Chains A and B, each alone.
Chain A
Amino acid sequence: MHGLFRWSSKWWPGVIPLVVFWAFAAWTSTAPIEADLAARSNAALKDTVLDKKRIAVAGRDVSFAAEAFSEDGRQDAVGSVEAVPGVRLVNDETRLVPEAKPFVWSAERDVVRVTLGGSAPLPAIKGRLLEAARAGLGGVEVADQMNLSRGAPPRFDSAALLLLDQIGKLKDGKITLSDTTVSLAGMARDLGGREAIAAALKNLPEGFSVAANDIKAPPYVFQAYKDPVAVTVTLTGYVPDNNVHAALVAAAGRKFFSEKVVDNLKASVGAPAGFASAVVPALGALSRLSTGTLVVSDREVKLSGDALYEAAAGQIRAGLGKDFPQGWQFKADISVKPQAAPVDATVCQQLFADLLAKARIRFESGRGDISQDSLGLLDRLIETALRCPSANIEIAGHTDADGDQAFNQTLSEKRAQAVAEYLVRAGLPADRFTAVGYGSTQPLAGNDTDEGKAQNRRIDFVVK
C-alpha cells in the first residue's frame, strides 16, 4: 500500500494524453448522446397527451416544455422524462393549458369555407371535430382556428359533433357553443332546414341548452306563369303537403278552363300560415289575365300581367288583397291588354259559342251566385262583347230537370240576371242585355245521366 502512494507520485505524465483523449471523447460523443436522449425522451412521451411539446437536450440535461391538460398528466410527463436512462437533470418548463372561461367553441360557414374556432378540450377531440367537419361537408374547405383550452363542459364533444352536423344545413351562418348554451344565426340552405335544425337541437346532450336560434329560412316561393302562346299555366315552387298540392292543381284546372296546367310543384315544409287560402284567390286573379305571372314569396304575393279590359284591372288591383289572410301583402302590376279589333255580330256569336263550349259559367249549388272559378271565363265573354258594341245579347239561363220546375225556372232567371249584372258592372251598357230564364225546357242532352244534366245546366249567349 505504501508502494502505491510512492508510485502514484509518478503517474502524472499520463494525465497529459488523458486530457487529449478526454477532449476527443467529448468532441465526438456529445452530439450523438444528445440526439439519443432526445429520441428516447420523445418515445417516453409518446402516449402522453400534451400540447406544444418541445424537448431540447444539452449534454445530459433535458429542457422539457409542454402544455398539459391536467396536473396529474403534467407530473406524469415530467416523471417519464426523468426516468429515461442517461438523463441527468430535467429542466421542467411544463405548464397547464390555459383555462377558458367561458369555454367558447364556434363553427362558422360562409360562401367558400367552414371555419372552426374557439377552444377544444383535447387534441384528439379537435382532430375528431375536424374530421367530422370534412366528412360531413363533403368538399367544402374546412379551416381550423381552434386552440386548446381546459374547462370544457362535460359531453362537450357530442354536443359539438351534433352542432357540426347542423352547419351542413346552413347556407351561411354561425353556431356558437358557450359553456353549455348554444346560439345559432344564419340562413338555412333548404326549405325545411330551419325546422330540421330545430328538431336536431332537441337531441343535445343533457345540460346543454339553446340560448338563441336565429336561423332564417330561405323564402318559400310559389310561382305560376300563364303563357297565352303555349296555352299553358305552369306551376312551380313549393306547396306544404300533398293535400294542398292536389287542391291547388284542382283549383287551377277549374279556373284556367282553356289552358293546360303544367304541375312542377314540390312538397316542402316551411310554408307560411294561410298559404292555400292566399294562393287560391291569387290563382283566380291570374286566370283573369291574358298573360301574367304570379309569384308568392313567403307572405308576399306579386301579380303582374295584362288584364283583358280596364274594369277587370281595377277589380283585380282592388279586390285581391281583401281575400288574403292577415299578414299577407299583395303587390299588383296590372296593365290592360289593347282591345282587339271590332267584329261583326255573327263572329261575336261564334266567339261566345266557342268560349262556352270550352267551359260553362259555374254557380254556387242551387243558388244564383257566380262561382269565383268562372271569373276568367266571364272576363273573356266580356272582352268578346266589347268587340261587337252594336250587338244586343240575350243571356239565357238553363237548368236540368231535377227538382221542382218552378224552382228551376226561378233559378235559371236568377242566374241569367246575375251574369247580366256582372257584365254591366264590368262597364257594358245595360240595355244591350236581356236576361231570360228557360228553366229545364230546352235541354241539350238527356236528363237521365249526371253528364247530361251537367250539360243542361248552362248559360248561353245569344246575339240578337
Chain B
Amino acid sequence: MANLATFFWGWLLASFLLGLAMGWVAVVHRGQGVSKLVARCLAVLAAGLVAAALARVVPGRAGYWLDLGLVMFGLYLAGCAIGSWLRDWVVSRALRRTDGP
C-alpha cells in the first residue's frame, strides 16, 4: 500500500488538512456533539471495518476502497487530534495572558 500512495497522496494530504481544520474548529464550537452512545456505536463500526480490512474479507475493488477509506479516515482523525490540541494550546495560552498581572 505504501508505494501505491503515489497514486492518491494528494487525497491523503487533503484528508489530513481537513482533519486539522475540523479539529481547530471543534475546540471552540458551541454546537451539539454526538452522544456517548452514538460515539460508541461509531467506534464499534470503525473497529469492525478495520477488522474486515485486516482480515481481507472484502474482495476486489471494494476491498481496495475500504482500505483507502480507512487510511483517509485515520489521517482525518489524526489531523483532528492535532488540530484540536493545537487550538487548545493556543486558547489556554491566551487565557493565561489575559488572566495575568
In the complex, A124 has a CB within 8 A of chain B: no
A61, B59: Cβ atoms closer than 8 Å: yes
Q: Would you give the 0/1 interface string for A13-47, flagging 1 where the beta carbon is closer than 8 Å to chain B? A: 11101100110111011101100100000000000
A15, B76: Cβ atoms closer than 8 Å: yes
In the complex, B69 has a CB within 8 A of chain A: yes
Complex interface: chain B residues within 8 A of A196 (CB): none
* Segment at the B interface, from A82-90, A107-115, A302-310: A82-90
Given the interface pairs A33-B7, A33-B64, the reply to whether A3 lies near B18 with Cβ below 8 Å is no
Complex interface: chain A residues within 8 A of B88 (CB): 3, 7
In the complex, A443 has a CB within 8 A of chain B: no
Given the interface pairs A4-B81, A61-B63, the reply to whether A85 lies near B56 with Cβ below 8 Å is no
Complex interface: chain A residues within 8 A of B11 (CB): 21-22, 24-25, 29
Given the interface pairs A12-B34, A59-B65, A89-B56, the reply to whether A4 lies near B85 with Cβ below 8 Å is yes
- Interface size on B, as a range, is 35 or more
Main secondary structure of the interface of B (DSSP, over half): helix
In the complex, B1 has a CB within 8 A of chain A: yes
B76: which of A14, A59, A89 is its contact (CB, 8 Å)? Answer: A14
Complex interface: chain B residues within 8 A of A15 (CB): 73, 76
Whose C-beta in chain B lies nearest to the C-beta of A9? Answer: B33
User: Which B17-60 residues have a C-beta within 8 angstroms of A?
Assistant: 18-19, 21-23, 25-27, 29, 31, 33-35, 39, 56, 59-60
- Most interface-central of A3, A25, A86 (chain B CB within 10 A): A25
A10, B21: Cβ atoms closer than 8 Å: no
In the complex, B95 has a CB within 8 A of chain A: no
Complex interface: chain B residues within 8 A of A59 (CB): 60-65
B84, A29: Cβ atoms closer than 8 Å: no
Give bound CA distance, A280 to B15, whole Å. 107
Given the interface pairs A21-B15, A25-B72, the reply to whether A60 lies near B64 with Cβ below 8 Å is yes
A14, B3: Cβ atoms closer than 8 Å: no
Give bound CA distance, A32 to B19, whole Å. 27
User: Which A78-100 residues have a C-beta within 8 angstroms of B?
Assistant: 85-86, 88-89
Q: Would you give the 0/1 interface string for A183-221, flagging 1 where the beta carbon is closer than 8 Å to chain B? A: 000000000000000000000000000000000000000
B1, A86: Cβ atoms closer than 8 Å: yes
B56, A18: Cβ atoms closer than 8 Å: no
B34: which of A9, A18, A22, A85 is its contact (CB, 8 Å)? Answer: A9
In the complex, B94 has a CB within 8 A of chain A: no
A88, B31: Cβ atoms closer than 8 Å: no
Q: How many A-B residue pairs have CB under 8 A?
A: 116
Given the interface pairs A7-B26, A11-B80, the reply to whether A17 lies near B18 with Cβ below 8 Å is yes
Give bound CA distance, A28 to B64, whole Å. 13
Given the interface pairs A21-B15, A33-B7, A89-B56, the reply to whether A11 lies near B22 with Cβ below 8 Å is yes
A14: which of B1, B4, B22, B33 is its contact (CB, 8 Å)? Answer: B22
B56, A88: Cβ atoms closer than 8 Å: yes
Complex interface: chain B residues within 8 A of A86 (CB): 1, 3-4
Give bound CA distance, A359 to B29, whole Å. 141
Given the interface pairs A26-B65, A30-B64, A86-B3, the reply to whether A3 lies near B34 with Cβ below 8 Å is no
Given the interface pairs A4-B84, A7-B84, A10-B29, the reply to whether A60 lies near B22 with Cβ below 8 Å is no
A7: which of B23, B35, B69 is its contact (CB, 8 Å)? Answer: B23
A219 CB → nearest B CB, Å: 70
B15, A18: Cβ atoms closer than 8 Å: yes
Complex interface: chain B residues within 8 A of A3 (CB): 84, 88
Given the interface pairs A58-B61, A60-B63, A88-B56, the reply to whether A14 lies near B21 with Cβ below 8 Å is yes
Complex interface: chain B residues within 8 A of A25 (CB): 8, 11, 68, 72
8 contacts between A and B (CB under 8 A): A6-B33, A10-B33, A17-B18, A26-B68, A29-B7, A59-B65, A60-B64, A88-B67
Q: Which 3 A-B pairs have the closest CB atoms?
A: A9-B33, A59-B64, A14-B22
Known: A14-B21, A28-B8. 6 other contacts (CB 8 A): A3-B88, A18-B72, A25-B72, A29-B4, A58-B61, A60-B63
